[in-house]
Structure 1
Amino acid sequence: MVSSFFMPLSYFYVMLHTSTIKILKPEKFRKQLMQWLDFNFPFFIFQEGNGFEYPQGTFPNQAHASSTCIDLQKADLLYRKSDLAGIISYDYKNKVENLQSINSEVIALEETVFFQPELSIQIEKDFLVFKGANAEDFVISFQKFIPSSRQNPRVRTKRLTTLEDYIQKVKNIQNHIREGDMYELNYCMGFSFEGDWDPILAYEDLMQISPMPFSGVFKSKSKYLLAASPERFLKRKNSKMIAQPIKGTIKRGTHKQEDDVMKEQLLNSEKERAENLMIVDLMRNDLSKISKTGSVEVDELFGIYSFPRVHQMISTVSSDLKEGLGLKEIIHATFPMGSMTGAPKVKCMELIDDFENFKRGWFSGCFGFFQENGDFDLNVIIRSVLFDKEKSKGYFAVGSAITFDADPEYEYAECLLKASAILQILEG
């Protein structure tokens, strides 16, 4: 069940270290906070879980911002021990394996962006906690800020892959499966758009129709990610590692009886269960590289979870991390997530560049917050929009797992279902 943490309240509290300031709460607190962050900082991350009941929890409700990012040439970033916010592009795979990304990019996006917060905001039920060297100044600035009330213009999207091309590509992928190159491959198609479009206003629209447990915004100068993701990539809590791959999607019913039928249909689908199981096995293998012997377990297999427009099949895999491993070893053992590649992973990544006609960039990568003690929580960047405000260009992508017995037209329809919320906020 979804319940926004931005419920109407008479007041909220802004806590500065040990002092508390009581101020009148604006009617639309998220809009003010998001626009204020965008106005004041070239780098920020905003995360929210939207009140979902999700195994192992959701994204925390928080924001972090900075005026600068970390220069990767001057620091071995993934070994640093400090609070960090960051995004890792799908194309970071080329650092993990001997691979390349050969397709053209819709917009130019950094391979990774990390920053140390100069301001952190914890969002509680009825107060905000501002933390940072200039927290009191930021509070005053926030109180004075008046958010824009303008509406976002509608834009037209362009499909980068036609139905005919999609069907042919799926048949070619299935030929590779018959030849034994792989078992399944996550094939994605892209959509592009242009226009004088405001990503911050669009995120508010997206959360009205498709709130998700791993939602958020990541800004890097003129580049924005708007995420309405249902999927966790990887979470670390002390020595516990948790992966939760999604494979298996079906639309929601129009009434409860039909909705229950759709859930049963997804749960009992041999095809969807086979897809899910393959990625679970892949994640078990990835975690085994960094985990104590015998500690990798499947906590839940084929769990069915409901979201605003779809039911999803989600499994949970956990393990106990070996001692002495840094973030770099963890990421390099598990990235990118198997649900966005297929199995076996390396061969699938090679073929993805052959079959897809756009560079994924941040799409199907991950973003999140890394705590100084080593804990972190990362989502999978799906159901997400990428936009360059300076170039007035953006794109998004959707995909599905192609198996030996996949029906190309059914897979295409599934992709359009996954794209429906984003198309609605773009085109109306």
Structure 2
Amino acid sequence: MLADDDLRRRRAVLEGEWSRWVPAMRAGSGPLPDAGALSTEVGESWARSLVCVDPGTGSAPATRDGPVHERWARSPLRRPLEDLSDALRGIADDAGFVTAVTDASGTILWTCGGRAMRRRAERVNFAPGGRWDESAMGTNALSLALRTGRPSTVFSAEHLVSALHGWVCYCAPVRAPDGRMLGVLDMSTTWDRSHPLAMSTVRSLVSAVETRLRAEPPAPSGDTAAVRLTGLGAEEASYGGRPLPLRPRQLEILTLLALEPDGFTSEGLRDALYGGRLVSVSTLKAEISHLRRVLGGGIAPRRYALTVPVACDAVALLRALERGDTADALRLYRGPLLPRSEAPGIVAWRTRTTVAVRQAVLASARPEHALSYGARAPYDAEVHEHALRLLDPADARRALAAGRLSSALD
């Protein structure tokens, strides 16, 4: 896309302002920029940043606060962002943006975007692990949003670091239900793709993330730590907020116990795990013993059942469907239950949950339900046809549903 004349003029003016003020301020011989093309907020940020940031630096420094994938796994933003990942990737790919999410310190935890844009972003370490707070990378949209607590846009040479003058960045803070800032969501692209609606998109996405944060179950109170189990399209478990080091078989056991609160006899659990295979009682007991150790007890000794509070996404999904809340069920449904498992009991629950969600979608009169489920079921032609029936002829989303249907029928 070619930039229009207004964008070119604005970029040229800002480059002039940068060349006029930054070298003088860096040398200590220039005051803060006066009123003009440059905002007071950006000028003040330049002055603060020049104390510790070289405007000629080539890329953002890497965090030293531990592996970024572990920080992302613990982040309260991870689950809401995973819910919205299809929408984020679609927007980034269609509009030529790269999208990033930081924590409250300004360290990028997650990004998405087309391959070409991500490669370009990685050259300046606009990637997981990169630090983008003001003290690390000077004036940029992320650092301003973190400092002010307000949405921010930084265009071309408003960035202190000259390596970023080819970019425009839009971002907004993401807040927890109690008002704490958890990080920022940023959408960035080349300056010639600057668009007045980009900030509206960022605000809408942040609003969607914050809505999901409010819907998250409250953390357990007191001294009793809860088991949190994510099995729909994933295989994760935590206890007291810390990841549990479980083998696949142990995760299957934990999932079955969460879905069957009345528990199992030894024979019943063995059948649910192994079917007709000849497996010794001692093998099952060894798996249970390991689970008891990591849960600090947590499993009744005679009839196997959980004795600690458990938050399981598959259980929450079925409860949502029982109360007729298809939207909440789709929020929880990220894919089939423990997708790699072949345990008969898990396979049965996998079928039950998938069929239940699908039937709720087909019974719904809301096209967004079919579109959301369709993103997880690309070969389900009936769901894509249902979406097309529900969508208004002028709705731009019909193209998405029609494309999916065409692929499913090929």
| TM-score, length of structure 1 as denominator length | 0.24
Query: Which structure has the bigger radius of gyration?
Result: 2
| TM-score, length of structure 2 as denominator length | 0.25
Q: Which has the higher strand share?
A: 1
Flag the structure with more relative contact order, 1 or 2, with Cα contacts below 8 A and sequence separation at least 6.
1
